[in-house]
Each structure stands twice: as structure tokens, then as C-alpha cells.
Structure 1
Amino acid sequence: MKNVIIGTAGHIDHGKTCLIKALTDINTDRLKEEQQRGITIELGFADLPNDLDMDIGIIDVPGHEKFVKHMLAGIGGIDIVLLIVAADEGFMPQTKEHFEILKMLKIKKGIVVMTKIDMVDDEWLEVVREDIKDHVAGTFLEDAPIMEVSSYTGQGIGDLKKLIFEMAAECGDRREDKSLLRLPIDRVFTIAGFGTVITGTLMEGSVKTGDEVMIYPQQKRAKVRNIQVHGNTVEEARAGQRTAINLAGIKKEELERGNVVAYSGLLENTRIIDVKIDLFDNTGRILKSGSRLHFYYGSAEALCKAVLLDEEAIGEGQSCYAQLRFEEEIAVKRGDRFILRFYSPMETIGGGRILNAAAGKKKRFDQAAITGLKIRDSGTDKEILAQIFREESDRLADLTEIIKKFGRTKEESEALIAALLAEKTIKKISENFLLHQAYLDQAGNRAAALLAAYHKENPVSGGMLKEEFRAKLKKLLRTEDVKKLELLVAELLDSGGIKEKAGMISLKEFQVAYTPEQKKAADAFEAVYLAAGLEPPLTEEVTADSKDKKLAGQLLDSMCGSGVLTRLNYQYYIHTQALKPAMETLISTIKNQGKITLAQYRDLIGTSRKYAVMILEYADENKITKLTEDFRVLYGQEK
């Protein structure tokens, strides 16, 4: 079944509510005040019966200028608009404002409906008809039909219905993939015996009875107890349907208009978004950076400050890239349209499109940031996804976070990711961790610069200790994710210009070159360790007679790098020639016996307990063995 939402727009008292009643036999003014005053204050809803296997809902919006924010709450998710113009008045101020809003929201289909034709003569009708054509020229309604009706006499209502059905049949299908569920709440109330009920237009996705959903931005969980579409109980609601949902596990007081029903993890709360702003051609206002604005999105309203990124100020008909910084958290999606009104006076000035639904602060006139926003604004899906990878790589984001920011289904995202991997724009580091190649190149360059500076200061050191390298790279890349940093270091070692040997990191091309004096000192150190065998002295004892203690330490590190010595821990080195047979004895004994105790090993290698412990702990640290209870087994073979 095709689901279509129709919205009305137009000046107060131009007959929107009467037209809907003529079409559907439903009075959408449900409030007592509305019926007494004869004006629409809140959103009204009706379904248009048909035998064409279509679910057509109609939203009645207020026409009075005081209730524009209510109009905005209902107009965002529509497929077709009925722009209502009374034949006895023509285009009026709210008609113009509503029409500008419709253009800004990029509504693509519509019908101009001239109401109250029974109140004017043919000559006046022609004047109003030409006035309408002048106002819609060059817009999405330029070639739209102008239907002339009277809700009082019924004239033209049948023809209008027929045209609505034809246009509804041409509407494209909405995205119903379950994972995309988004329903902006426009009403919250309680029903005795049922509890909390919310209503809204299901913009994307689908929802079933029994589903667990998340309410944003509160991030409160609730369970779908019951679903109704146009008053009928259903098991599932789909995109494009006016939907009422009975929620369990949440109170009416915890919800409000503007909240969004979605699945957990679909949206992200934020106080900063990147946008493209377009001002109305007739706004008559100048928007300066730092201006305070009312921001309308879905069925919600929020206050924000506009920080213009590529302009000092813009005027009517102009555009710019900007950040909107909010006073409270919101939850939106990339690609969403929005409307802006001045903080004071409350005047609608324009709108735009969300380019990044959860952004970090950007500096004004930062060319790299502006270039990125241009890609997000007009690039292909693949280019936009690549740009998201580029930006999110800076914070080592998970793949799931990137797909969330992209806003497509997992399957759609994976197809584009495969293409980006094939062309080597991005690289897989682990199953859920992919990085942009530009970031990897940058990280590699930073690591190389870090090591080059170290080699210059420590020319006889075999390299930087891996722990020190990791700590400095962590600070350089401004990340706190140790696990991902470890994966990144492994990737740089695999494909970058760096290498690891004996627990030290160096540039691949780096080679230690001793002076004669340094060679003499290194030979003396080696002789000490050869003589000591499996019972090496403390490092400070070995270097006690050295005039330059720092250089002596670097010489020992370089001897580890060349494989002459092995570092057991921060206090002890051992000659590799002595360690090697001791390790062979350890491994072969465990293979034969299945395990070995400290006492057994001490006796086998003929040394004291102190040195046996150091060697065993070295084996544990390097994942050769593993301590289990009071014995050791080979790493990976423990039971």
C-alpha cells in the first residue's frame, strides 16, 4: 500500500479546514476554542477515503501568523501540498510566508486550490487567478494545476479529489527499512486504561507492536504497546502514515512535542550542527554571524546561535555555510530541512539543510572546513561518505558511528564502503574500525617526525621504547582510545615507514653508527653481560663508571636493537646469547611435561630464584608463557 501525506498551507480564514471537511467529512478543528473562534490553532488530521489501495492522510495547519510554529510542526513530512488561496482575497501575508516555507522545505508536488469561488464573479476570479500565477512563477508550483472550488456548494470538490488521487499515485515510495524509524511527535496525551499516547507522521522506517524504541533527545526507552493508523489498530506502521502509538514505560510528563521516536543508536544528541543556510528572497533582513535564532525541525523548535563560516553576513536570497550552536541538546539527521525565524521580532527569514548532524566547533573562514561542507552539500553519496570517514578518522570513530552519521541503511552504506575500500580511499584496520587513507598518511608522517626528532637527539639509541612511542603518539593524535591506538600503531608498523625491533620503534631506514669511542664502550658492556650469563647486574652498576649516563643508556638500548642484548625489565638487560638457551629449555620442558613451576625452572637453568623469576616474567610479558595458579604453561594452550 502506498502511504501519502498531504498538507495544507495558506492565510487564516481562507478555508483550509472547510476544504478538508468537504473532502473527508471530518472536522479537524477538535478544540473547543477552535470551534468557538472559527480558527485553527493546533494541527488537525484527517484521512481521505479511497478505493485505490492508498493510505492518504491530510494535515490541517493553522493560518494565523501567531501559530506559524504550529504550522511548521505539521508541514515538514508531507508529500503533496494544497496551497489554499481564497478567491475573495487572493495572496495574503500568511499565504506568502507559508509559500516561502514550502519552497525552503523543498516540497516537490502541489496543487493551488482557490476556495470560496461562490463568493466572487468571473471577472474577479480571473484577476485572482493571474495574481496566483505571478506569485508561483519560477517555483515548484509554476506548472501546478489551479483548482477552483467551493466547500459550501461542493463545486469542484469531486475534480479536486480525482486530481489528488492521480498525484498521490505518482508519489515515490518512502524509505520503509525498519532501521530508519523516525517519528517526530506532534501530540502527547493519555487515554484511561492505556496510558501515554503520541502521534506524528512516520517520516522514515517502520515500527511494530512490541518494539522497543528510544525517545530523543531524552534518550529514554519505551515499548510500543499499541499502534493505530487513522483510528484503526494495526500491527505495523510504515513511513508516510499518520500514526498514533501507545507507549509503555514512559509518562506523558516525560514527553513533549518535538521529541523523536526512533530505534536506539539511530540518532545522536548534539548542541552543534553544520548547515547550509538560505534566506528567503523577500526576507528584508540581514543575518549576521552570532545572531540568535529560532530553529524549526520536524515538529520541534529550539533556540540557537548562528556562526557563519564563510561570510560575515548574508541578506535576502543569499546563502552561506554555518554552524548552529544550541542552548539545549537536539537530535536530528543529516539531510533534514529546517526553517529559521529571527529571535526578535519573530519573523521567518529562511531555512536550509543539515550537512552534519553532530559536529565539533569549527573556526570561521577555515578553508579545509568549508571545503568539507561543500562536499557534504553537493557531493555524491560516495563522496559524502568519504568525507565523513576523513573527518571522523580524527577521533578514531567506529564504523557503526560513521554509518549513523551517514544516515543510510547498513546495506546501502556497506555497498559504498566496499567501493571506497576498492579504490583505497579508506582502509580496514579491524572489523569495525576503518580509517581514511589521508588520515593514515598524516598519522604516518607525524610518527615519522616524532621518531626523526628522537633519532637526532639520541643517535646511538636503537629506537624509542614502544611504550614511550605509544604515549607520545597518543598525545600527538589527541586520542584516549588505547585499544584503537594499538591497532593504529600495528597498521603503521605494517605499512608505514617505521619498524619495531626488540621492543623499540625506529624509522625503517635508521641505522645506529658508533664512533670509535662508543664502539669501545659497547664492547665493554657486552663483555660484562657475557661474563654474567643468567645473573646480570643492575643496569646502574654496569654504567656506574660512564661519564655520560644518558649516552650509556642509549648504547644499551641500541645493543638491544641489534639483538646483542635483551631487556628483561626496566632495571635489567641480559646477553641474548645467555637468554636463548634458557628460553629453549623453558619451552621444551613445558612441551614435554605440559607445565613447569618456578622451582623446577630455577633448578633446570642453575640460577637463583630472583633471576629465574625475571626470565619467566619476561616470557609471560612476551606471550611465550602464561602463569596459571603456581605453574606456567605455553601461551594460548592454557586450559
Structure 2
Amino acid sequence: MFVFGTAGHIDHGKTALIYALTSIDTDRLPEEKERGMTIDLGFAWIRLPSGETVGIVDVPGHENLIKNMIAGATGIDAVILVVDANEGWMPQTEEHFQIIDLLEIKYGIIAITKIDLVDQTRLNFVEKQIKERLNNTALLNAPIVKVSTVNNLGIDQIKLAIQDLIPRIKPKRDIGKPRLSIDRVFNIKGSGTVVTGTLIGGTLHQGMEVTIFPSYKKARLKNLQTYKEKTEKAFPGSRAALNLAGIEKDELHRGDIIFGSKQIKASKNIDVRIQILPQLKKYALTNRSELFFFTRTKEALVKVILDQKEHLKPGETGFAQLRFKEPLVTYLGDRFILRIPSPPKTIGGGLIVDPLAHKHHFKDKDILHFLQTRIKFGLRELVLTELKKNIFIKKDNLLTNSNYDDSEIRETVESLKKQGEIITTNSWLIEKNYWQEQIIKFMNQLEQEYELYPLQSGFPINKFQSYFYYLKPEIFNNLIDVLINTSKIGLEKGVMFLLSRKPKISSQQKILISKILKILKDNPTNPPNEKTLISQIAGSKEIIDFLIQEGEIIKLSDGILLESKNYDMMKNKLIDFLKINGSISVAQVRELLEISRKYIIPLFNKMDEEKITQRKENVRILKTKPAN
């Protein structure tokens, strides 16, 4: 489905031409009828001899209504440029044509109207004038049709010219991302709220839930129409009227966008390539200028940050960042128009290169390289630059604001993964160089820990999670898995360690080890607690931790320390007793092991923790039958 739009100076016969083509009067407002001029956008459609239905947008020609013209022109596939044979190429013909050129509308038809009012000499002059202006433009070879709506001359030729253009125009793709920029909002008695616009990006169907930006309110599509006919589905490229349930007319405005089920990503910063009109005189776009920005049906005030240039002169192009007061939703490759507020004038337009840009300045040369890489919109380069910008990104969030569908993006990601250009987890994509930096940083951090604590054989994984707090849990876990699978580290019971690393014990530390073990060995029934031992032996804290780690010491609750052989002896005596007697009390343990209650309860707790025993009322019983 395709949409054509008119362009041209005020009172050159755009609306009359559409009426002659379609029998639809696009001047719908009372003021338009009274003044005999188009003020707002008008809409019609034509069924061609081939059977194809084409939408037509009628735009106002008055210089004070250019913003309405832009709202209509940004959604069209081809233009019908209307030139009055009597007046010829006029100021608003020129501005409309400049806007069409900036929007890169490459297909069109030239209609010379009111030929019944001029002689052949004048007609030849105007035709020559038009051809000279179209030289070196996309419409150089556009058909020129001479028309009189009064005498019904040239109308059939316009229809045939439209039909001949259709096969040359690239159809709007269905990428599963429907969006409709609202150009009209009204109520219909008995039906409720209705919006209209040109649908792109995907299909809308009756009954589906939609989201409206910028309010993020939800609504349901009660009914749909395309070209006054009810339909269950509206397809990309069609003019559609949507009857919305769950939202009121005054909650919607021109420039709002209807989205389907896909998530909406908006930004206050957009990176663009700007082109300044070459026809301008005595004008240069300066850095930090405030302009009016137009894309599709949206108008907003914007501040322009230029790329290291003080200004852009007529005919020049350059990268810039556009900064808005409120977030906007735009897509990669969307076109836009820029106008100065006073006196109002179109000064240029351009192409959106990054619709979700980070706020930046252009002092960093990497920014320019980033934008130059993206400008051709190759999917491979877009994926890589998105990762360069974001470092890591959820798969579902990758290039949401692009004109590629999910399957194309997935295929490219898979190809880049196989080539080793990107790193993937279940849900995330990670920039390759950043990933390597994290591996190096992790290993360096682990080495530093060993330098600080040379007696440690390993370190708790949660300690490293705190060091790498900025990584998503899934990414951190994947990092650990990679390091384990490449035999760089080991992981047991939540403790990480270098496989090749052994504790470095100094001669002084060996003396402390012997001293601590001797104290524990000499006091089997009255062992010290950790706090006491640390106060008695300077520098023993690290040694105690090491001996616990190596299994030489067992630490009970309340900080009680036992030589591991002593603990095993006590444990085995209790197990043997329980096998014979079935249960054991504190008093029986005191008699069996000759230790006080101070040690018995922590001993019980340790054996409970090891799932050897369990408490039953005031005694302990075996939890499981110990293996022989």
C-alpha cells in the first residue's frame, strides 16, 4: 500500500486536483470552506485502473502553515508537485520542494494546473522553468502532466502516472514494529475516539492492545478502517483510522504515536546528520542554536550541538546531536526537517543516525567515527556500534528503534558470535573488547587478593561479586563459567581459587602454625576460642584462618577452636555411642568426652550442621546412618 501527497504554492489547485482524481473534498474544516484555502491536512484515496488503492494527503500551501505541510509530507511515498500554469514556480513551491528533497522523497509527478487559463507560450515557459529547477534532483525525470480540473483535462493521465510509479516504489516493510504517528484525533458519535495516520513498521489488527506515546497509556483497537472501509487488519503503508477504546479524545494529540506490543524506547538526545539547504542566503547554523524539529507528525523545540564546527553553511552537511526537553521516539533512518522560529523558515533537515544517543560532546573523535560507521545503516555495523556504545545490552533491547525485524537482528548476532566479534549469554550481548578487559581485571583482582592474603587458597565468590557490582548477575556468572571452562580458576562451595596457586608460608608463619597447633593439641578438653588465641599470639588471625581453610583446625560456634584430629575423635565417639544407645544427652557427653557444656553445645551444633545428628527434644539422635 502506498500514500501520495501534494505539494505546492497556495491556491495552485492542489485540493481541486485531488477532488478531480477522487471525488473527495479534502477541505473538511468550516474555515477552509469559508476562506477557500486548505488550512490543515486533508485525506483522500483513489482506486487505480489496476485495482490498487492509493492514499492521497492534501497539504496546505500557505507559508504560515508549513508545519502542517511537513506533518503530511513525512509519511508519503511519492509527491504530486502542483504548479499553477499562470503563476509558475512560486516561493512556497520552492519551500515545499526543498522539504520534499530533504525528506528524500524520490518519486513524484509534476502537475501543471489551470492550463485552461494560459496560452501555449506561457505553458511552454512554465514547463521549461520547472524542468530547469528539477535538474540534478531526484525528480529530474518525473512525468509532467498538464491539467485542467475545470475541463477535466489530464486527470486520467495523472491516474496512469500514479499507476506507473507504483512498481518502482519500494513497499513499506512489515518488521513486526507497528507505529502510527497521529495526524488527526476526533470523536464519532456512538463509536468514541478515532485517530488517523499512516501506518508503518508492522500490522495492526482489531482487538489488539496498543500503547500511546508519550503518555504510555493503553488502549484497545475496537475497529479499524482503511480508506473508509472496515477491515480486521491494517498493513504497513496504508492510511488507517483507528477506533480506540479506553482512552478519551483529549488525551491524544497530533504527534503522539500508536505502538503495538513492542517495547517503546525514547530519548532526549538524538544523533543526526544535518544538511543545510544550499539555497539559503546569509544564514549559517551555529552551535547550540534552538530550532523547530519536525519528524512525521511531531513538532518539538530542539537545541543543536554541532560536531566540532562553529557553524554549518548553506549546502554543507555535518553530524550533530539534537537535545530535547522531553523524550522523543524516533527510529534509525527517520528523516526530519529543521526550521528557525523567527522569521519562520526551513533551513535544512537530515537523517537520524542514533535515536537513543547518550549525551555527549564531539571532542571525543570516537564519536565521529561511531556515527560515520553507522551512516550506511548496515546491520552488522549497527550491532557492533550499539555494543560499542552500551558495552552490554539485553538481546531484546538491541536495535528496537530500527527498521530491521527481530529475525534479521538475531541472524546477524549469531553470525557475529560465530566470528568471535561479540560475546553472548542467554539474555545479554557483550562488547568483545570490554569482555576481555573484564577477564583481565578479574584475574588481576584475584592475584591482588593472593598478594594481600598469601595463606588463602581461595576467596568467596560473593566478595568478587561486590568488586564487579556493575555487571548484571547473568553476565558475572557467565564470566565465572568462562574462567572455569578455560581452566583459569576453580570453584568449590562458593570459594574461587587459582588452580596453580599454593599458599606461600614464610618461616615466621611456620613457627606460628606450630605454636597454635601445639596449644590446641595440649588442651583437647579445654580448647581456647579464637578471640583468646588471637589476643595471646600476635599475628595469629591470618594463621588461624589458614589452618581452618586447610582443615587443620575446626571452628565451632562461639569461636571455639579444635584440632581437627581431636574433633574427629570426639565425633566418632559420639557416633559409636549413638549407634548403640540411639540418643545422647548433654550429661552423657560430659561423661563420655570429659568436656563441659560450654563445648558440648557448639559440638552438637557442628554435627547438626554436618547432618550427622539432629535434635530431638533434649537429646541428639543420628540423622542418617553413617557410611562404614
- Taking a change above 3 Å as real, the CA distance of residues 380 and 310 of structure 1, as seen in their structure-2 partners, is farther
Structure 2 counterpart of 1:541:
532
- Matched to 1:517, the amino acid is Q
1:334 maps to 332
Contact 2:6–2:14 (Cα < 8 Å) also in 1: yes
Corresponding position: 1:472 with 2:472: no
2:299 aligned counterpart, secondary structure: strand
- Give the 5 Å matches for 1:412-451: 412-430=408-426, 432-451=427-446
Matched, 1:272 2:269: yes
Bigger drift between 505-514 and 127-136 goes to 505-514
The CA distance in 2 between the partners of 1:202 and 1:581, in whole Å, is 81
- Contact 1:55 1:241 survives alignment (8 Å): no
Query: Partner of 1:191 in structure 2?
Result: 188
CA-to-partner distance for each residue in 1:281-326, whole Å, 9 max, x for gaps? 2234322232212111121111222222443332222222222221
Look at both structures and tell me which one has the larger radius of gyration over its CA atoms: 2
For 1:118-133, what aligned pairs fall within 5 Å after superposition? 118-133=116-131
Q: Relative to structure 1, is the Cα distance of residues 581 and 55 closer, same or farther in structure 2, using a 3 angstrom cutoff?
A: farther
CA change 1:631–1:313 in 2 (3 A) is farther
Indicate the larger mover: 421-430 or 564-573: 564-573
C-alpha distance in 2 between matches for 1:40 and 1:583 = 97
Q: CA deviation at 1:578?
A: 8.2
Q: How does 1:483-502 map to 2 (within 5 A)?
A: 484-495=475-486, 499-500=490-491
- Bigger drift between 400-409 and 135-144 goes to 400-409
Equivalent residue, structure 2, for 1:610: 602
Q: Paired residue for 2:243?
A: 246
Matched, 1:17 2:8: no
Aligned counterpart in structure 1 of residue 206 of structure 2, from 209, 215, 220:
209
State whether residues 501 and 561 of structure 1, in contact with CA within 8 Å, keep that contact through their aligned partners in structure 2: no
Post-superposition offset of 1:440: 0.9
Query: Could you tell me which residue of structure 2 aligns to residue 398 of structure 1?
Result: 394
Instruction: Tell me, yes or no, if the aligned pair for 1:111 and 1:144 is still in contact at 8 Å.
Output: yes
Matches for 1:283-302 after TM superposition, within 5 Å: 283-284=280-281, 285-302=283-300
Contact preservation (8 Å) 2:42, 2:58: yes
1:279·1:315 contact (CA, 8 Å) conserved in 2?
yes
Instruction: Return closer, same or farther for 1:463/1:50 CA change in 2, 3 Å cut-off.
Output: same
Aligned residue for 2:302? 304
Taking the aligned partners of 1:183 and 1:492, their CA distance within structure 2 comes to: 48
Instruction: Name the SS of the counterpart of 2:440 in structure 1.
Output: helix
Question: Secondary structure of 2:536's match?
Answer: coil
Query: Equivalences for 1:596-607 in 2 at 5 Å?
Result: none
| Closer, same or farther: CA 171–610 of 1 in aligned 2, 3 Å | same
Distance (Å, rounded) in 1 between the aligned partners of 2:280 and 2:567 = 81
Q: Distance in 1 between matches of 2:328 and 2:585?
A: 64
The separation in 1 between residues aligned to 2:551 and 2:366, in whole angstroms, is 46
C-alpha change, 1:632 and 1:212, in structure 2 (3 Å) is: farther
Residue 116 of structure 1 is matched in structure 2 by: 114
For residues 160 and 330 of structure 1, what CA distance do their matches in structure 2 show?
Answer: 38
Give the 5 Å matches for 1:545-564: 545-548=536-539, 552-556=540-544
Aligned to 1:519: 510
Distance in 1, matches of 2:396 and 2:198, equals: 27
2:353 match: 355
Equivalent position to 1:386, from 374, 384, 387: 384
Q: By how many angstroms is 1:78 displaced? A: 1.2
2:80 aligns with: 82
**Counterpart in 2 of 1:591?**
none
SS at match of 1:544: helix
Instruction: Answer yes or no: is the 8 Å Cα contact 2:114–2:147 preserved in 1.
Output: yes
Give the counterpart letter for 1:45 in structure 2. Answer: F
Q: Structure 1: how far apart are the matches of 2:241 and 2:571? A: 71
Aligned partner of 1:221: which letter?
K
**Contact 2:174–2:200 (Cα < 8 Å) also in 1:** no
Q: Which amino acid aligns with 1:418?
A: E
CA contact 1:534–1:574 (8 Å) conserved in 2: no
Whole-Å Cα distance in 2 between the matches of residues 335 and 317 of structure 1?
20
Specify the SS of the correspondent of 1:233: strand
CA distance in 1, matches of 2:567, 2:430: 40
Shifted more, 180-189 versus 402-411: the winner is 402-411
Q: 1:631 to 1:411 in 2, by over 3 A?
A: farther
Q: State whether residues 6 and 57 of structure 1, in contact with CA within 8 Å, keep that contact through their aligned partners in structure 2.
A: yes
Moved more, 238-247 or 145-154: 145-154
- Cα offset for 1:417? 1.5
User: 1:161/1:439 Cα in 2 relative to 1: closer, same or farther (>3 Å)?
Assistant: same
Per the alignment, residue 100 of structure 1 pairs with 98
Q: Which residue of 1 aligns with 2:149?
A: 151
Which one of 8, 12, 19 corresponds to residue 6 of structure 2? Answer: 8
Aligned to 2:255: 258
Q: Which amino acid aligns with 1:444?
A: I
Native 8 Å contact 2:458 2:496 kept in 1: yes
Aligned partners of 1:12 and 1:39 also within 8 Å: yes
**Higher mean C-alpha deviation, range 37-46 or range 410-419:** 410-419
Q: State the TM-score, normalizing by the size of structure 2.
A: 0.85
Query: Where does residue 230 of structure 1 map in the other structure?
Result: 227
Secondary structure of 1:240 counterpart: coil
1:54 corresponds to which residue? Answer: 52
Sort the Cα spacing of 1:531 and 1:207 in 2 relative to 1 into closer, same or farther, 3 A. farther
Give the match for residue 407 of structure 2.
411
- Partner Cα separation in structure 1 for residue 449 and residue 396 of structure 2: 37
Q: Show CA shifts across 1:193-237 (max 9, x none).
A: 111110001122111110011111211100000111111111111
Contact 2:293 2:300 (8 Å CA) reproduced: yes
Q: 2:617 matched to which residue of 1?
A: none
The Cα of 1:366 is off from its aligned counterpart by 1.3
Offset, 1:632: 13
Q: Distance in 2 between matches of 1:632 and 1:220?
A: 62
* Residue segments in structure 2 that go unaligned for 5+ positions in a row: 574-582, 594-598, 615-619
How far apart, CA to CA, are the structure 1 residues paired with 2:487 and 2:133? 62
Partner of 2:367: 369
Q: Which amino acid aligns with 1:216?
A: F
Is the 8 Å Cα contact of residues 209 and 221 (structure 2) preserved in structure 1?
A: yes
CA 1:576–1:322: 2 relative to 1, 3 Å: farther
Aligned-partner residue type, residue 48 of structure 2: N
Q: How far does residue 411 in structure 1 lie from its aligned partner after superposition?
A: 1.5
1:110 alignment partner, SS class? strand
Inter-partner Cα distance in structure 1 for 2:558 and 2:228: 74
Task: For 2:216, give the aligned amino acid.
Answer: Q
Residue pair 2:48, 2:159 contacting (<8 A) in 1 also: no
Q: Which amino acid aligns with 1:255?
A: L
CA distance in 1, matches of 2:502, 2:228: 79
TM-score (norm 1): 0.84
Q: CA RMSD in A?
A: 3.7
**Cα offset, 1:68, TM superposition:** 1.0
Going from structure 1 to structure 2, the CA distance change for 1:574 and 1:286 (only over 3 Å counts) comes to farther
Cα 1:206–1:126, aligned 2, differ >3 Å: closer, same or farther?
same
The amino acid that maps onto 1:610 is: P
User: Distance between the aligned counterparts of 1:151 and 1:467, measured in 2?
Assistant: 80
**For the residues of structure 1 that align with 2:278 and 2:94, how far apart are their CA atoms?**
11
